[in-house]
Amino acid sequence: MGNHVGHVQESVVEGVVVSVSSKATWGGAVTGIVGYLAQVNWIGWASVLIAFIGLGFNVYFNHRRDKREAAESAARTARETAESAARIAALHDRCEL
């Protein structure tokens, strides 16, 4: 039970970080465009940096989520295969073939 709660908390934190970093990426991109159009160089460079940091967070946390979901899928497939084999064996025993 404790492990499940930790897993849920980790997923919630990752969801929040991905959401915030996505917004930071878009905010940085928009600020960069505005800074470029306004001919203010430091705003443009700062927004590019913010956009890349947000993109980095997105890539990192999405990669972690993909790995976790792949492990969950593999575990579910293994469990379903074992359950199917057990059902087949039980049916085979009942049929007395």
Written in H, E and C, the secondary structure of 34-61 is: HHHHCCCHHHHHHHHHHHHHHHHHHHHH
Q: State CA 66 to chain mean position distance.
A: 5
What span, in angstroms and rounded, lies between the C-alpha atoms of 22 and 16?
10
pTM: 0.52
What are 26's two structure tokens? Answer: 């878009």
pLDDT in tens, 12-60: 667 677 777 777 777 777 777 777 777 767 777 777 787 788 888 888 8
Q: 7-17: per-residue pLDDT in tens? A: 666 666 676 77
Q: Could you report the per-residue pLDDT of 70-90, keeping only the tens digit for each?
A: 999 999 999 999 999 999 888
Sequence ranges of the domains in the chain: 2-95
